[in-house]
Structure 1
Amino acid sequence: MNAENAMNAENAENAMNAMNVTSTGRARLHAEVHGPDDAEAPTIVLVHGWTCQIRFWDPVLRLLTPDHRVVLYDQRGHGRTPATPGACTASALADDLCAVLAAAVPPGRPAVVCGHSMGAMAIVAAAGRPELAERAAALVLCSTGVDRLDPTRGLPLRPRTLRLHALRAMLRTRLPYGPVTPLSRRIVRYVTLGPRGGADPGLVDATTRLVYACPRRVRAEWARAMMDFDLSAGLARLTQPVTIVHGTADRLTPLAHAHRMVLRLPGDPELIEIPGVGHMTPLEDPGQVAKTLRRLAA
């Protein structure tokens, strides 16, 4: 089968497994269900992050679907889910996750829920809600933070902090990023990938395409909202076992965020640090993420 036929076959399969989930504000979320419906292992729910979409999870999905039922959905304004301007809030993130859990996770068979970046924030924002309490048996938070997300807050505009101020401006801008160029690829590589992922030209290309595919207004509105998020109070309300997966070379949400979450979470949370990996943990080391999910599902 050539590449074009393989892509058509994948699109056809995705269409067959697609479902629409209605959330607050009449938001219609595009969701997909993959893997065997009669799988004995718990369902695994994957929630992507800012500027990404369902296809972000493909490397992990391929490792899980032979024997796990996997549910994914596009966040508001990402992928095939239409934007809802003015509703880029932590409450909307929680509403959407809970709507998907209610629609796709059978009662009495709790799932393992894994979020990356903004997707992990959705999990923390949903802490204390009955849908998460009843339908999630374990939680995985990948490459995320719950507060102090603005890297420039409190920093003066000085030469040694100019790079951070430039990063903040790039994340929040409503201007188009323009065409993909060698320079833009280097910027995306620097911001999102660590030494391991950044050394793979194919991964750099795939990550750049993901970021550039996100509509600029959606990208900017979610970035501006997340800079002001403080979800730290939700950590204490997470009653399920929590595993944190974080790259040691993450520039968007540095490892200090993971260490702060460990101190605030109840019980005995697990922290998995992946050396040389940046912010895109499921892309840079899908094997480690899938291995973690399989272990928790078992």
Structure 2
Amino acid sequence: MKRSAAAAPAPPVATRELTAVSADGSRLHVEVHGPEGAPAVVLAHGWTCSTHFWAAQIRDLSTDHRVIAYDQRGHGRTPAVAKTGHSTGALADDLEAVLAIALEPGEKAVLAGHSMGGMTLMAAADRPGFAEHAAAALLCSTGSSRLVAESLVVPMRPGRVRTRITRSILGSRAPLGPVTPISKRILRYGTMGPGAAPDRIAECARIVHACPRPTRVAWARVLAELDLAAGVREMRLPTAVIAGTADRLTPIVHARALAAELPECVGLVELAGMGHMTPVEAPEAVTAEIRKLVDAHLKPDARPERDRAEQDHAKQDQAKQEENA
């Protein structure tokens, strides 16, 4: 039986709230859920979303994990920034700041990023803070480049015309206004699978419509020019990829490309009929992938596997140095 939109559970209440300060002084809202001392999971949401987007994962994981979720700059409870504060470098700075304040020095966590959150992980992959704290990663419904050119939001053949129209739609300055039946239909078409439940469409609509227009427009421009191919190559840690086969915003070709290009891809999960909002559309599947990464790379009996991975990475670095000598 489907739940009505009104019956959708409220987002979990945080155990603690923190404020991370990024490299440029921007302040970020951070929430910590679950028991202290439990394996840590860090969640980075996507464009136009907020920590509420991860509500299902937080409710499930926080029973036996310490779950850290934060609002990207300009989203949710994190204040907006100046125009110059919108860049992939800023996203990487923000993630480093969150990891530094929420984790102990040297403490490892599984990092999961949806859409722009996954791009945040790619952007930060060569940062010291990422190397210090990331044990494994999940890239969820995301891509590293050619986001506008590959988008299927506009039902036309690929080419300059489709790219131009898609860019204008995604970067539109038109206000979203209140959530209405029409706006929910538009949102479902662009970002969710054809069989998405009405309550989950309504949940996504409430989150997306709450994003301030200047934030939505500013990040749309950044994503339109995105090129994080180098960041993908720097993600030298166990990384899983999950995406919906009906995703129009970041079509499945992106997930397949990431799985092929990642130095240590540990699995590609394709969710049949699911769209772009997979943590809300298929929460159990996304949560299960996070749990698998924790079991394999964070729990005490996973230490030998992590040691082997670190040794392999050290050998790769040595080989590169010898090639360049």
- How do residues 4-23 of structure 1 correspond to structure 2 at under 5 angstroms? 13-14=13-14, 17-23=16-22
Question: How far 1:238 sits from its partner (Å)?
Answer: 1.1
For 2:108, the equivalent position in structure 1 comes to: 110
| Secondary structure of the corresponding residue to residue 29 of structure 1 | strand
Partner Cα distance (1:265, 1:98) in 2: 21
Please say if 1:88 is aligned against 2:47.
no
CA 1:152–1:280: 2 relative to 1, 3 Å: closer
Distance 1:244 1:128, change over 3 A: same
User: Aligned runs of 1:54-133 on 2, under 5 Å?
Assistant: 54-86=51-83, 87-133=85-131
Summarize deviations over 1:56-115 as a string: whole Å, max 9, x none: 100111110111000000000000000112211000000000111111122333100000
Answer whether contact 2:192 2:276 (CA < 8 A) is retained: yes
Q: Deviations over 1:214-265 (max 9, x none)?
A: 0001000000111101000111111110100111110000000111112221
Q: Distance in 2 between matches of 1:134 and 1:169?
A: 39
Match of 1:267 in 2: 264
What's the TM-score, normalizing by structure 2? Answer: 0.82
Equivalent in the alignment of 1:255: 252
Q: Which residue of 1 aligns with 2:294?
A: 297
**Residue 284 of structure 1 aligns with which residue?**
281
Q: Within 2, Cα distance between the matches of 1:152 and 1:143?
A: 13
- Can you give the 5+ residue segments of structure 2 that lack an aligned partner in the other structure? 1-5, 152-157, 296-325
Alpha-carbon separation, structure 2, partners of 1:119 and 1:98 = 13
Equivalent pair of 1:152/1:165 in contact (CA under 8 Å): no
Please report the TM-score for the alignment, with normalisation by the length of structure 1: 0.89
Q: In percent, how many aligned pairs have the same letter?
A: 48
Question: Across the two proteins, how many residue pairs are aligned to each other?
Answer: 282
Compared CA separation, residues 100 and 264, structure 1 to 2 (3 A): same
Q: How does 1:159-170 map to 2 (within 5 A)?
A: 161=162, 166-170=165-169
Tell me what 1:223 maps to: 220
Counterpart contact for 2:240–2:265, Cα < 8 Å: no
AA paired with 1:108?
A: G
- The counterpart of 1:202, out of the listed 196, 199, 202, is 199
Contact 1:133–1:239 at 8 Å: present in 2 too?
Answer: no
| Structure 1: gaps of 5 or more residues | none
What is the identity, as a one-letter code, of the residue corresponding to 2:284?
G
Deviation per CA, 1:254-283, whole angstroms, max 9, x where unpaired? 000111112221134411111111001100
